Amino acid sequence: MSEHITAGDDLIAIRHYLHQHPELSFKEYDTTKYLAKQLREHGIEVLDSGLDTGLVGLIEGTKPGPRIALRADIDGLPIHEDTGLPFTSLNDGVMHGCGHDLHMSGLLGAAFWLAEHRDRIAGSIKILFQPAEEQGIGSREVLAAGVLDDVEAIIGTHNNPNYKPGEIAIGPQPMMAGCVKFDVTLHAQGTHGAYPQKGTGPIEALASMILSLQTIVSRNVSPLHAVVLSITAVRGGDVWNVIPAEAGFKGTVRFFEKTDEPLVHGRFETVVNNTAAAYGISADIDWDCIQQPLVNDPELGEAVAGEVGDYATLKPIIPSMAGEDFTEYVAKSRLVFAFIGSNGEPGCADWHSPHFVGLDAAVEPTVNFYVNAALKVLDELA
């Protein structure tokens, strides 16, 4: 039988405090101290994790059993908040524009309840507050610290403004895209702008590359597969009468089918290198596949989804082209992940917008998902 937990005013106050005090990736020092204080005040052991920011708590059940983890990310974004909320960010230029304050407060609420009901736990639960999700590498730091080496499964959530509070989406389909970060640097022979024949210019090559790269998806990837290739920044020159010796661009690729990433990578290198050769210059390509698509463990995901209707409204998955470094944990553990509705109003701002508003009403469903998913996964593993 599923639990129905109420998020009281104290938990909403915690959410407001966290929203007002966001910190950037790997700089979440005060956030870490605050979270550790909250755990300790509720009788939850804080482990010596070796992490510089972020932390791991431990709740031991009264009966033997497997060990799992619950994870929330804790970093904010370099965004000037423009929401008009009464608890708007007090750290100028930093905002919880992805709703990680909802994740933290929801996991705290779940941890408080689990610590008070250890008799319901057959096994043990680690409470992971992870740094630097926005850089796509925070989970790598956690894995390198070894704090999940003894964990059989890990449960995570992400608020989603495309669903209403009380709606939860979980299932076997890919939920969030795989993510590549690329950076291309072009090396040429700079010269005076009045004597282009005395050098080789990278600007024309750069323009040709950007246009040609847009054909990779349209002419190489199956039209039944969702792939995005976006050029997001361009650099080259800063003087009006000088053809620069160097230029470049960077961007991202998003994908849901694992086979599409090496396909796009191969075509990308061919286009860039051959275009550079045609213009008489050279190119350096930095291609970093930060993460694979996020997909639930089929058995555990189905088991958890089967109970969501007891305490929330189960909705179909709307796949997101955004990335999520939670998928890195598949190297050590079985994954369970859900979208938790956080707004749902027509035209509401999405993640990473200065106008993003996650509603307080999203905290309670987050608490309930963490608790019920934890108890169900422990039962399934046992």
Residue 134 annotated as part of some ligand binding site? yes
* Region(s) of the chain under CATH 3.30.70.360: 178-291
Burial of 86 (0-12, 13-18, 19+ CB in 10 A): exposed
* Region(s) of the chain under CATH 3.40.630.10: 9-176+294-381
**CB neighbourhood size of 101 (10 A):** 28
Cα separation, 190 vs 283, in Å, equals 15
- Computed over every residue of the chain, the mean pLDDT equals 97
Confidence of residue 279 (pLDDT cuts 50, 70, 90): very high
Q: What digits encode the pLDDT tens for the residues 210-237?
A: 999 999 999 999 999 999 999 999 999 9
Two structure tokens written together for 173: 């389909």
SS (H, E, C) 66-82: EEEEEEEECCCECCCCC
For residues 77-98, give the mean pLDDT: 98
Contact call for residues 308 and 341 (beta carbons, < 8 A): no
Give residue for tokens 């507050």: 129
Two structure tokens written together for 164: 């209403």
Q: What digits encode the pLDDT tens for the residues 36-76?
A: 999 999 999 999 999 999 999 999 999 999 999 999 999 99
Give residue for tokens 């407060």: 105
Domain made up of 178-291: CATH architecture: 2-Layer Sandwich (3.30)
Strands of 188-245 (E only): list them: 191-192, 227-236, 242-243
For residues 248-266, give the mean pLDDT: 97
Checking DSSP bridges between strand 246-255 and strand 227-236, what pairing results, if any?
A: antiparallel
DSSP state of 129: E
Burial of 331 (0-12, 13-18, 19+ CB in 10 A): exposed
Residue 192 annotated as part of some ligand binding site? no
Which backbone phi and psi does 171 adopt, to 5 degrees? 180, -170
Cα separation, 254 vs 196, in Å, equals 38
Residue 80 annotated as part of some ligand binding site? no
Q: What digits encode the pLDDT tens for the residues 144-197?
A: 999 999 999 999 999 999 999 999 999 999 999 999 999 999 999 999 999 999
Q: What digits encode the pLDDT tens for the residues 304-332?
A: 999 999 999 999 999 999 999 999 999 99
DSSP state of 50: -
197 conformational bin, left if phi > 0, alpha if psi -120 to 50, beta if neither: alpha
Position 1 pLDDT exceeds 90: no
Contact call for residues 80 and 92 (beta carbons, < 8 A): yes
Radius of gyration, alpha carbons of the chain: 23
The CATH superfamily assigned to 9-176+294-381 is Zn peptidases (3.40.630.10)
